[in-house]
A and B are shown apart, each in its own frame.
Chain A
Amino acid sequence: MYLLKKEMMNVDKLNHVNIPTNSESILRVNNLNVYAGEHHILKNLNVKIPKNKVTVLLGPSGCGKTTLLKCMNRLTDIYKELSVSGSIHIENDNILNTTKNIPSIRQKMGLLGQRPYPLPVSIYKNVAYGIKLKGVRDNKLIDYNIEKHLKEVGLWDEVKDRLHSSPQSLSIGQQQRLCLARGLAVKPRIILADEPTSALDPISSKIIENLFRDLKKHYTIVLVTHVLRQAVRIADNVVFMSNGEIIEQGTPDKLFKNPQSSQLQEYLVDGN
């Protein structure tokens, strides 16, 4: 508990001294239910994701955080056994019930997985992939964007001399940043990150966390994690889940200093 408090004080100094509580929401989840056969995975969830903030989905493993994240960009479609109901609005489109094409909806959200999954092509082509899918054919524009996004994730200086070699030659941390750059290259509004640091060493994790702090100026970030301290370090808004339900949500100040539910109280104690 001591460590947690210490870290919270540091974070307060660092980046969120004034948290605007009623900031505009970019994503709204209403009455979301997900079933896998008979099994009720997500139980009537209602969440608002504030714009240009880091929202952390926190909770023990298996509580449905990742499923919620995958509902947000309809990756649930590829799991034939899942049935999803309710609504998820990004701005004014309900993405669960849309006639618009799903690839363009997904491009509004960049996904960062638990482990880096670079495509089996060169570093250059990895970032170029999404740009080309958007229909850009001008090579100069593609080059410009690749450089821009690799710089955005702080990878440019490390890879500029070997853009055409395989991403397998990079460290896991670098690969994860490459995947982030690849996601940013399609100009998303939201970054969905599913325990993006769980496979990384502490230093690489820190780099990713610092990146998120910078990136939230331009993007909205939804971060799934079960690491309490990570949530404390970078969250502007916390959604605590347990067993497919949302137990509490609000600012980290409110949740961590004054938890209402017994589940969160236990989690805060056990998490340290």
Chain B
Amino acid sequence: MLYRRIVSDKITEWWMVTSIFIIVILPIIIGFGLFTKAAPLIELKPLGELVGSSTWLPHKKEFGFLPFILGSLYVTLIAFLLSAPICLFSAIYLTQFSSKRVLRIMHPVIDVLAGLPSVIYGVWGIVVIVPFVSDYLAPLFGTTSSGYSILAGGIVLSVMCIPYILNMLIEVFNTIPLGLKEASLSIGATFWEMVKHTVISKGFPGILSAFGLGIAKAFGETMAVMMVVGNMVQVKFHLFDSAYPLPALIANNYGEMLSIPMYDSALMFAALLLFVIILLINLVFRYFIYRTKKHE
């Protein structure tokens, strides 16, 4: 009997270690696969030119990825700037100020938003946000725009990020011990001072982590952004102009333009770039989280 229990103990442990191994090995395999596929292009051109040049003429074997990288970064930045404050304040309100009933009502609402397929956000973007940008926002800023723009992409993307970041922030703020809040209040902090000095400050690593994951997700989001951002190769970025993010480049062209020499390799390089940039974003946020935890 005891022997059986020891064996089942060991089997459980092996299974757990195997699971971890699969998780660790997956990104390595994907990264390696992308690299092998992109290798012909990397052999052809120096890396600096691929990343730093903005000439995109596949027929002439000119592959400059800068417009795509910047396009992705720009749309992600707008989405982050729009969604982060909304998420932060609503998460604080829902966990600290409102009654538990409101949070119970809000949970399914957030889950529905999180579960909507991105093509629906894309359609909503085309029907609502694109005309809104071209008819109202652009004239307001004294310019003209087709509406298919970085701003439209950013707005749609921010709405997609909200449920994702909000859910994580709610989890973070719910873990702040009640005793800590009581301690702060009993010293004479007002409610908002308490929130500032305990909830936000204790939850800071968690906030960073939620933002980091949100940014990484936004950076890779393809469908909805592709539908509203215009997809034009440009380097001069203006809020009301089009851009061509990296994921859109891959999704639009893979399988269609492969007759052009090196194009296959170029798209794989774009995928590798996405992979590396998302990895970098995560590493940077991990580093900040590590530092804030150390200083706590």
Residues of A within 8 A of B (CB): 70, 73, 75, 78, 80-81, 103-104, 106-107, 109-111, 113-115, 117, 119-121, 129-130, 133-134, 166, 168, 179, 182-183, 186, 192
Contact A120 B201 (CB under 8 A): yes
Q: Give B56 Cβ to nearest chain A Cβ, in Å.
A: 48
Contact A109 B296 (CB under 8 A): no
Residue from A81, A114, A129 in contact with B179 in the complex, judged by beta carbons closer than 8 Å = A114
List the 9 closest pairs (A to B, CB-CB), nearest first.
Answer: A111-B186, A107-B188, A130-B187, A117-B183, A117-B180, A103-B188, A117-B179, A120-B202, A113-B179
Contact B183 A73 (CB under 8 A): no
Which secondary structure dominates where chain B touches chain A?
helix
Contact A103 B189 (CB under 8 A): yes
Residue from B99, B177, B191 in contact with A80 in the complex, judged by beta carbons closer than 8 Å = B99
Q: Specify which chain A residues have a CB less than 8 angstroms from the CB of B185 in the assembled complex.
A: 75, 78, 103, 106
Residues of B within 8 A of A (CB): 99-100, 177, 179-191, 193, 197-198, 201-202, 204, 295-296
Q: Specify which chain B residues have a CB less than 8 angstroms from the CB of A103 in the assembled complex.
A: 185, 188-190
Q: Give A31 Cβ to nearest chain B Cβ, in Å.
A: 24
Contact A129 B186 (CB under 8 A): no
Complex-state Cα separation, A115 to B204, whole angstroms = 22
Residue from B184, B186, B204, B296 in contact with A73 in the complex, judged by beta carbons closer than 8 Å = B186
Residue from B182, B183, B188 in contact with A104 in the complex, judged by beta carbons closer than 8 Å = B188
Residue of A nearest to B180 (CB): A117
Complex-state Cα separation, A106 to B185, whole angstroms = 7
Q: Specify which chain A residues have a CB less than 8 angstroms from the CB of B187 in the assembled complex.
A: 106-107, 110, 129-130, 133, 182-183, 186
Given the contacts A80-B99, A107-B187, A117-B177, A166 and B182 also touching, CB distance less than 8 Å: no
Given the contacts A114-B179, A133-B193, A119 and B186 also touching, CB distance less than 8 Å: no
Given the contacts A80-B100, A120-B198, A120-B201, A106 and B296 also touching, CB distance less than 8 Å: no
29 contacts between A and B (CB under 8 A): A75-B182, A75-B185, A75-B186, A80-B99, A81-B100, A103-B188, A103-B189, A106-B188, A107-B187, A107-B188, A110-B187, A111-B182, A113-B182, A115-B179, A117-B177, A117-B180, A117-B183, A119-B184, A119-B201, A120-B201, A120-B202, A120-B204, A120-B296, A133-B187, A133-B188, A133-B189, A134-B188, A186-B187, A192-B186
Contact A119 B188 (CB under 8 A): no
Complex-state Cα separation, A114 to B177, whole angstroms = 12
Q: Give A109 Cβ to nearest chain B Cβ, in Å.
A: 7
Contact A78 B182 (CB under 8 A): yes
Q: Give B176 Cβ to nearest chain A Cβ, in Å.
A: 10
Residue from A106, A121, A166, A168 in contact with B186 in the complex, judged by beta carbons closer than 8 Å = A106
Residue of A nearest to B193 (CB): A133
Q: Specify which chain B residues have a CB less than 8 angstroms from the CB of A183 in the assembled complex.
A: 186-187
Which secondary structure dominates where chain A touches chain B?
mixed
Contact B201 A121 (CB under 8 A): yes
Residue of A nearest to B100 (CB): A80
Contact A113 B183 (CB under 8 A): yes
Residue of A nearest to B296 (CB): A120
Contact A111 B183 (CB under 8 A): yes
Given A75-B186, A121-B201, A129-B197, 5 further pairs, Cβ under 8 A:
A113-B179, A115-B179, A119-B198, A133-B187, A183-B187
Contact B188 A186 (CB under 8 A): yes
Q: Give B93 Cβ to nearest chain A Cβ, in Å.
A: 13
Most buried by A among B100, B183, B197, B202: B183
Q: Specify which chain B residues have a CB less than 8 angstroms from the CB of A70 in the assembled complex.
A: 182
Most buried by A among B179, B186, B202: B186
Contact A166 B189 (CB under 8 A): no
Contact B296 A166 (CB under 8 A): yes
Q: Give B99 Cβ to nearest chain A Cβ, in Å.
A: 5
Q: Specify which chain B residues have a CB less than 8 angstroms from the CB of A114 in the assembled complex.
A: 179
Q: Give A50 Cβ to nearest chain B Cβ, in Å.
A: 22
Contact A168 B188 (CB under 8 A): no
Complex-state Cα separation, A133 to B187, whole angstroms = 8
Complex-state Cα separation, A110 to B182, whole angstroms = 11
Q: Give A9 Cβ to nearest chain B Cβ, in Å.
A: 36
Complex-state Cα separation, A121 to B184, whole angstroms = 12
Q: Specify which chain A residues have a CB less than 8 angstroms from the CB of B197 in the assembled complex.
A: 119, 129
Q: Specify which chain A residues have a CB less than 8 angstroms from the CB of B183 in the assembled complex.
A: 111, 113, 117, 119, 179, 182
Q: Specify which chain A residues have a CB less than 8 angstroms from the CB of B181 in the assembled complex.
A: 78
Q: Give A227 Cβ to nearest chain B Cβ, in Å.
A: 19
Contact B180 A109 (CB under 8 A): no
Q: Give A123 Cβ to nearest chain B Cβ, in Å.
A: 12
Contact A110 B186 (CB under 8 A): yes
Contact B182 A168 (CB under 8 A): no
Complex-state Cα separation, A255 to B295, whole angstroms = 50
Complex-state Cα separation, A213 to B197, whole angstroms = 32
Most buried by A among B183, B187, B295: B187
Residue of A nearest to B198 (CB): A119
Complex-state Cα separation, A107 to B184, whole angstroms = 11
Complex-state Cα separation, A135 to B202, whole angstroms = 23
